[in-house]
């Protein structure tokens, strides 16, 4: 009897050990299977994500590639029925011809003048307005700001005819730099952007400045402006790029040679008397004009991203 009991105990122990071993193997198998599936999903997701991003990059970059490709072709090659993706012969003289034909030197100077003056004046207006809406207490402040934000819902094109009549007929500013600078000095979007950044600055700093006897202007210049420098840099870059890329308004109010900006100065500079346009030379001019914007964006893109990201947190 004792021997049978020992055999039964040994058999039971062996079965339990075998069951535990099978259970552990099953558990390990499930874990390995889950890990393998997770790796497969991760790899497939990464492939799809990078494929999508590469396609978008190609779509975005291709027009710039085609601009550079066309700028290095001869007019005969450009007019071929079957386009060539690499120039058969690189015509670098197109860039020299573009600079002289369109008088790019004068266009650059005009655009820089308008861009710098409008940017500086717009910064002053934006900083003072944002400070007033963010820190000063006056009757109707929130209502006025809400009304200003409501104007952002109206497309700017709706004001073109009214602004044109006001500037050219009433104020007699046609074909002057004043018409290119004054109408767009105030930007509600920039005021909103900077106001949101100002509101993130602790109010205790303002109270401490008041205790020290500082005026509102001193507090603005010595505390708020340095702390909001990334946003101010972003506004400066965006405003300058807007002035550089402006086309419709300069075309309307300042279309003479003395006040032409880069965008509208390149429009008809490469057409001969018969109406034929030398597109390779025009593409070369566009490449020259676009280069400063690319350089500015590449060098200062981190300030743009940082300034915008810091301006939409606190309402």
Q: What is the pLDDT of residues 155-197, one digit of tens each?
A: 877 888 888 888 888 888 888 999 999 988 888 999 998 998 8
- How high is the pLDDT of residue 9? 55
Worst-scoring range by mean pLDDT, 21-30, 108-117, 129-138? 21-30
Give residue 24's pLDDT band: very low, low, confident or very high (50, 70, 90). Answer: low
Contact 209, 219 (CB under 8 A): yes
Q: What is the dihedral of CA 152, 157, 162, 163, to 10 degrees?
A: 80
Residue 14 scores a pLDDT above 60? no
CA distance 251 to 245: 12
Residue 286 scores a pLDDT above 80? yes
Contact 235, 123 (CB under 8 A): yes
- Closest residue by Cα to residue 191 from 244, 229, 145: 145
Give residue 314's pLDDT band: very low, low, confident or very high (50, 70, 90). Answer: very low
- Closest residue by Cα to residue 196 from 139, 262, 133: 133
Domain 95-309 indexed as CATH 1.10.3720.10:
yes
Domain boundaries defined on the chain? 2-71, 95-309
Strand partners, 271: 277
Give residue 5's pLDDT band: very low, low, confident or very high (50, 70, 90). Answer: low
Share above pLDDT 90 across residues of the chain, in percent, rounded to a whole number:
17
- How high is the pLDDT of residue 119? 92
Worst-scoring range by mean pLDDT, 138-142, 213-217, 309-313? 309-313
Residue 107 scores a pLDDT above 80? yes
CA distance 132 to 144: 11
Residue 312 scores a pLDDT above 80? no
State in Å, rounded, how far the first CA of the chain is from the last one.
86
Contact 118, 243 (CB under 8 A): yes
Mean pLDDT of 92-112: 85
Average pLDDT of every residue of the chain: 82
Residue 120 scores a pLDDT above 80? yes
Residue 140 scores a pLDDT above 80? yes
Q: What is the 3-state secondary structure (H, E, C) of the chain?
A: CHHHHHHHHHHHHHHHHHHHHHHHHHHHHHHHHHHHHHHHHHHHHHHHHHHHHHHHHHHHHHHHHHHHHHHCCCHHHHCCCCCCCCCCCCCCHHHHHHHHHCCHHHHHHHHHHHHHHHHHHHHHHHHHHHHHHHCCCCCCHHHHHHHHHHHCCCCHHHHHHHHHHHHHHHCCCCCCHHHHHHHHCCCHHHHHHHHHHHHCCCHHHHHHHHHCCCCHHHHHHHHHHHHCHHHHHHHHHHHHHHHHHCCHHHHHHCCCHHHCCHHHHCCCCCECCCCCECHHHHHHHHHHHHHHHHHHHHHHHHHHHHHHHCCCCCC
- How high is the pLDDT of residue 8? 46
Spatial neighbors of 225 by CB under 8 A, at least 6 apart, are 127, 232
Residue-wise pLDDT for 51-76, tens only, equals 999 999 999 999 889 999 988 998 88
- How high is the pLDDT of residue 315? 45
- Sign of the CA dihedral running 195, 201, 202, 207: negative
Q: What is the dihedral of CA 43, 44, 49, 53, to 10 degrees?
A: 90
């Amino acid at each position: 009897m004792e021997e049978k009991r020992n055999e039964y105990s040994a058999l039971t122990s062996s079965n339990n050990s075998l069951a535990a071993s099978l259970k552990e193997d099953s558990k390990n198998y499930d874990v390995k299977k889950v890990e393998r599936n997770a790796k497969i999903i991760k790899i497939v997701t990464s492939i799809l994500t990078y494929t999508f991003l590469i396609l978008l990059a190609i779509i975005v970059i291709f027009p710039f590639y085609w601009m550079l490709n066309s700028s290095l072709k001869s007019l005969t090659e450009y007019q071929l029925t079957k386009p060539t993706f690499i120039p058969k012969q690189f015509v670098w003289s197109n860039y020299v011809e573009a600079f002289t034909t369109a008088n790019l030197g004068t266009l650059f100077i005009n655009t820089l003048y308008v861009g710098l003056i409008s940017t500086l004046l717009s910064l002053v207006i934006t900083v003072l307005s944002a400070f007033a809406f963010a820190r000063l207490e006056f009757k109707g402040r929130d209502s006025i700001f809400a009304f200003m934000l409501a104007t952002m819902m109206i497309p700017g094109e709706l004001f073109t005819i009214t602004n044109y009549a006001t500037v050219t007929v009433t104020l007699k500013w046609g074909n002057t730099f004043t018409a290119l600078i004054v109408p767009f000095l105030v930007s509600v979007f920039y005021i909103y952007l900077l106001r949101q950044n100002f509101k993130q600055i602790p109010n205790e700093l303002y109270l401490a400045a008041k205790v020290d006897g500082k005026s509102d202007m001193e507090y603005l210049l010595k505390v708020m402006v340095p702390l909001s420098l990334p946003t101010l840099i972003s506004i400066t870059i965006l405003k300058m790029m807007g002035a550089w890329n402006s086309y419709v308004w300069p075309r309307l109010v300042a279309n003479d040679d003395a006040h032409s900006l880069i965008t509208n100065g390149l429009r008809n500079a490469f057409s001969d008397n018969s109406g034929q346009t030398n597109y390779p030379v025009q593409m070369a001019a566009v490449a020259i004009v676009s280069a400063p914007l690319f350089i500015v964006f590449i060098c200062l893109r981190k300030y743009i991203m940082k300034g915008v990201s810091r301006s939409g947190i606190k309402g």
